[in-house]
Chains A and B, each alone.
Chain A
Amino acid sequence: MNPVILSKDHLVPLLRKISRSRRLIAPLRNEHGDTIFSEITDLDGAVPDLDNQAQNSLKPFFFPQTEKLSSYIIDRDPVNGALRYSFHAHLPENRPTLYFGVRSCDMFGLMYTDMIFLGGAERDIYYEQRRKNAVFITIGCNHPWKNCFCNATRTGPFLEMGFDLQLTDIGNRFFVEADRAGGMKILRNYPQFFRPVTEEDRRAQFQAALEARGLFRRLVHVDLAVKLLREQEPESLFAELSGRCRDCGGCAFLCPTCTCFNITDRQLDEDGGERIRSWDACTFSGFSLMAGNHNPVDCSTGRIRRRFLHKLKHDTAKHGRPSCVGCGRCVDICFGGVDIVRFINSISALEEENGREENHER
C-alpha cells in the first residue's frame, strides 16, 4: 500500500474515531512529569506525549508484572465425598486496543516476546488473549533520546515491518506507512483523514530518517560485543560487574524483551487460593537456587553473566540477532552501573587494550 499523509491537525480527530471501538493506549505525561504508556479515556483532557520516551515499554500490557492465572478451591467430590482441589482458569479480557505512539524499539521488543510466548509448540493463552486484538501505530524517532542505541541493535530509529501504521514526523504532518492488516484497515475505514504523498513529502521523510541516524549520542559496539562473546567469555569483567549489581531486578523488569517469570500460589483462606504469575529476573540468586540449597551460579561473581550472555550470545545463536533492542531504559534505572551499555563498552574497551598490547609486543 502506498504511503499517505496525515496532517497533525487531524491526528486527534482520527484517534477519537478509532477510540470509539477500541481502547486507546499511548504515552501520557502525568501530573508528576513522568511519561508512561497509559490508557487515554478523554482525548480532550489528555493528548499523547510524543516528546518523551515512555518509562515503561509495552511489555506490561501483554505480560503483566503479576497476574492471576487460576484460582483453586478445596471442596468435596460430589460422587465419593473425598476432599479435592478444583482449579479455575482466569483468562484476561480481550479488549480491542490501539497502541499509539509506540517507538520502533518497543515494537521490535513485542515481536520478540511474540516469538517467546507464541512461537513455540505451546502458545501462552494469557499472552495470546491480550495480543489478539491489538493494533499498533508506531512513530519513528527523529530525535533519539540520550540513552538510545537502536542504531547499533538495528531495531530503529525507523522500522521496515512489524507495525500496523508507522508515522514519520515531517513538520506539520505525518508520513504514514502501512504494513499489516490492522493499518490497512484504518486507512480504508477513515480515508477522509489521509491524502496521497507528494514527491516533497517523500524527500522530507527520507531527510528525517537520514538525519535521525546521525543524532545518536551513544556509540555502542553491539556487533563487536557479540563477536567477542562468541570467542571468549570475559570472566573478570563478569565478576567485577556482578560485584556492583545491586540485585534489584530493575533491568529485567523494564526490559521490553525480558520474559522470565515465576509462579507462586497464594492461599487466600482455608478453602482456597490463587495461582500467580509474576516477573522474575535471572540476576536473582533465587532464580537458579535448587533443592538442598545448591546454586549452580555463584552470584557474587556470576550474577550478571547469565543476563548478558542471554541477550548477546545465546539469542544471537538461536534467533540470529541479539535480543537487546537498544531502548536504553536499563541505563537510567540501574544504580549499580552494570547496564548493558556499560557491559558492551567495557568488553569493547578490554578488546582495544588487548589489541594495543599485542601491537606493542610485535
Chain B
Amino acid sequence: MTNSINELDHAQVILVAGSNTTEAHPQVARRIFHAVDNGAALIVIDPRRTRLADKARIHLQLRPGTDIPLINGMMRCIIDENLIDDLFLSMRTENYFALRDMLLKVDLEETAALTGVPRKLIARAARTYARAQRSTICYCLGVTQHVCGTANVETYANLAMLTGHVEQEFTGVDPLRGQNNVQGACDMGALPAVFPGYQSVADPRIKKKFEQAWGVELPATPGLTLLDMTHNRGAASGSALQKALPRLRAMFVMGENPMLSDPDLHQVEKTLKGLDFLVVSDLFLTETARLADVVLPAASFAEKSGTVTNSERRVQLMHRAIAPIGDSRPDHRIIMSLARRMDFAMDYESPAEIMEEICLLTPIYGGMYHDRLASSHGLQWPCTDRAHAGTPYLHKYSFTRGRGRFVPASHVEPAEPVDADYPLMLITGRRYHHYHTGTMSRLCPTLDREEPRPRLDMHPDDAAALQLRQMDRVRVSSRRGSCEFNLHITPRTPPGTLYCDFHFHEAPTNKLTLATADPTARCPEFKLCAVQVRKGGAG
C-alpha cells in the first residue's frame, strides 16, 4: 500500500476494485465501514454484488476482465469535465499526452457496451472520485489475476495520478496483500529478479554487495517465476516462452501447496513428478508434500519468533508462544541446517541477528532492529536507519523513479472467451472461513463447520436455464479438467458468471483454471476461464 490502513477512516471517497474486502480483509473492511459511517462515498468495482457493494454509493458491476476500458472511461469523463490536477500533472508526472491522446479516442458508448456499466454511472463515479480532496483506491486480486494484470494496475495508477490522489494522507493506490507476511516475503527477495528490498539482481554493484556479505558468488541473471517453475514441463498448450525454459531438476517448497493453488493442476503434477528431487517443508502433509522425496516438519506461527510485514509495509515483531511440537523447527533453523550440510557456514544465533543483517544490506529496512520493533507496534518501510520513524505513506515529494509515468493501456480480451461449448465464465477466489488451500483452516472443526464443502455460486437465471436446484451436486468442466461442487444459487453473482473457491482438495478448482499469464508479472489468469456446468453426482 502506498498509504496506511488507518488512513482509510478519514478518506472522503474510497474506490475498491476487485476486492471482496469484507471476507478477505475484514480488518480493512472495518475501516471502510467506519469511513462510510462518517459520510465517505464508497465506489465498488466488482462483477459480483459483494457485501461491501451493499454499502456502496456506486457499484460498477462490470463484466469480468473489463477494468481497463472502465477506468479509461472514467478518465475520459474526468478530462471532459476538466477535473484533472494540472499542477500535479506538470510537476510530478510524465507522458501525460500519450494518455490524453489515447483517452480522446475513447467512445463512452462503446465503453458502456463493453463493460456493461451504464455511461451515466461511469460519469458519476468519475466525478465522485475526482472531485473529492481525499480519494483512495484499494485493489486486490480481482485486478491482478488477469492476463492484463500489470496493465490493470497501471491503469488504476493512471487514474490516481491524473487526479493527483497520491503523495498525501488519505489518498493513494493500495493493493491489499492477502497473507500476514506476503509483503514481507516480497520485501525479502522471494521474487526472481531482486535481492531483499527490491535491489536488482542485474545491478553489478548490488550483486557485489551481497557477494561480499555472504562470501559466495551469486548468479547475475534473474531466476524463474513461480508459474515457470510449477509449469516447467512445457505442455503441448504451453507457450514458446515456457518451452524455452531451463529444465528444473529439483525443488524446495516451503509453506506452499502448488498442487492445489497453482493453475492447470495437471501440468503442475506433471512437473513435480518429473523432478529428480522434491523437498517440501510444511506443517501438515499437503497434496504437494505427498509427492515429495523428503518432507521437513516446519514450526507454526505460534512456535517461532521473527517479524511479519503487512499490507501497509508495517514490520511487526512476532513472539514465540509455545515451544515447537515434535520434530518441527522454525524455518530459519531448517535453512541453516541445510546450508551447513551444503558446506556453507550459515550460523545466526537468533532471528534478531538475521534482522541485523537485513538492516545492514536492505536500505528500506535499514532501521528495523528488533529492539525498536519491540517497543512499538512496528515500523513502516522505508525506515532507513535507527533514527528514522518509518513512512506512513509513500511518494511524498517524488516517486521512486522520479516522475510518475503514465502508461496508457487498452482493453485486453480474456485469454479464454466463452463459446458454445463452454458458455460460462468462472471466477475463482476465497471464502471467509478458510485460508488458501485449507491445509490449516480445514483442520479447525469450528471453521470447517462454517464452510464444510466446496460450493459454486450461480445466478438464479442460469440455474433455472440448467434446471438446477439449491445444493445440487454439479460438475464443472473446462478444457483442462473438471470437478464437483454443491450448487449455491445467489443473485450476488451476475448471470453468465460463476464463482468458486480453491480451499477444498475434494474440488481442486485449479484443475479448471488456465495457466495463461500476464507477460510481465507472470501472474496467471485465475479470475477467468470458460466452463460448462452439468448436473453431477451419481447420475
Q: Which A residues contact B (CB, under 8 angstroms)?
A: 32, 243-244, 246-249, 262, 264, 276, 278, 280, 284-286, 289, 293, 335-337
Contacts and interface: CB of A to CB of B under 8 A. Distances in A.
A243 B23 CA distance: 12
B445 A246 contact: no
Contacts of B95: none
A31 to B, nearest CB: 9
A286 B446 contact: yes
Interface in B34-79: 34, 51, 54
Given A262-B446, A278-B445, 20 more contacts: A243-B54, A244-B33, A246-B26, A247-B433, A247-B450, A248-B26, A276-B445, A278-B446, A284-B450, A286-B446, A286-B450, A286-B452, A289-B449, A335-B26, A335-B27, A335-B30, A336-B26, A336-B33, A337-B33, A337-B34
Contacts of A284: 446, 449-450
Contacts of B29: 246
Nearest to B433: A247
A243 B26 CA distance: 13
Nearest to B443: A266
B445 A264 contact: yes
Contacts of B450: 247, 284-286
A335 B5 CA distance: 14
6 contacts: A244-B33, A246-B26, A247-B450, A262-B446, A286-B446, A286-B450
Interface in B439-493: 445-446, 449-450, 452, 471
A286 B33 contact: no
B446 A246 contact: no
Nearest to B453: A293
B319 interface: yes
Given A32-B319, A293-B471, A246 B449 contact: no
A243 B432 CA distance: 14
A303 to B, nearest CB: 12
B43 to A, nearest CB: 19
A246 B319 contact: no
Contacts of A289: 449
Interface in B414-457: 432-433, 445-446, 449-450, 452
B30 A247 contact: no
B21 to A, nearest CB: 11
A247 B33 contact: no
B189 to A, nearest CB: 29
B181 interface: no
B30 A243 contact: no
Interface in B292-308: none
Nearest to A265: B445
Contact of B30 (A246, A249, A264): A246
A278 B444 CA distance: 11
A262 B445 contact: yes
A243 B55 CA distance: 10
Nearest to B31: A335
Contacts of A248: 26
Contacts of B27: 335
A337 B30 contact: yes
Nearest to B317: A32
B432 A247 contact: yes
What size tier do the contact residues of chain B reach? 10 to 19
B179 interface: no
A337 B27 CA distance: 12
A278 B34 CA distance: 32
Contacts of B33: 244, 336-337
A247 B446 CA distance: 12
Contacts of A278: 445-446
B56 to A, nearest CB: 13
B168 interface: no
Given A278-B445, A285-B450, A246 B22 contact: yes
Contacts of A32: 319
A276 B27 CA distance: 30
The 3 closest A-B CB pairs, nearest first, are: A286-B449, A264-B445, A335-B30
Nearest to A247: B432
Contacts of B449: 262, 284, 286, 289
B528 to A, nearest CB: 27
A208 to B, nearest CB: 35
A161 to B, nearest CB: 36
Contacts of A276: 445
Contacts of A249: 446
B372 to A, nearest CB: 15
A288 to B, nearest CB: 11
B299 to A, nearest CB: 20
B446 A336 contact: no
Contacts of B26: 246, 248, 335-336
A135 B333 CA distance: 45
Contacts of A264: 445
A289 B448 CA distance: 13
Nearest to B55: A243
Contacts of B433: 247
Contact of B51 (A243, A285, A293, A335): A243
A336 B21 CA distance: 13
Contacts of B445: 262, 264, 276, 278
A284 B34 CA distance: 23
Contacts of B432: 247
Contacts of B446: 249, 262, 278, 280, 284, 286
A169 B27 CA distance: 39
B209 to A, nearest CB: 35
Nearest to A285: B450
A74 B203 CA distance: 64
A276 B26 CA distance: 29
Interface string B309-336: 0000000000100000000000000000
Nearest to B445: A264
B429 to A, nearest CB: 17
Contacts of A244: 33
A244 B31 CA distance: 12
A70 to B, nearest CB: 16
A284 B450 CA distance: 7
A285 B433 CA distance: 11
A171 B278 CA distance: 68
A216 B54 CA distance: 36
Contacts of B54: 243
A90 B445 CA distance: 21
Nearest to A276: B445
A262 B449 CA distance: 11
Contacts of B51: 243
A282 B26 CA distance: 20
A335 B471 CA distance: 32
B416 to A, nearest CB: 32
Contacts of A293: 471
A284 B30 CA distance: 19
A249 B51 CA distance: 19
Contacts of A247: 432-433, 450
A273 B34 CA distance: 46
A284 B449 CA distance: 9
A284 B433 CA distance: 11
Contacts of B319: 32
Interface in B1-37: 22, 26-27, 29-30, 33-34
Contacts of B471: 293
Nearest to B452: A286
A249 B319 CA distance: 24
Nearest to A294: B471
Q: Which of B33, B432, B446, B452 has the most CB of A within 10 A?
A: B446
Nearest to B319: A32
A276 B445 CA distance: 10
A260 B313 CA distance: 39
A246 B26 CA distance: 7
A264 B432 CA distance: 22
B463 to A, nearest CB: 16
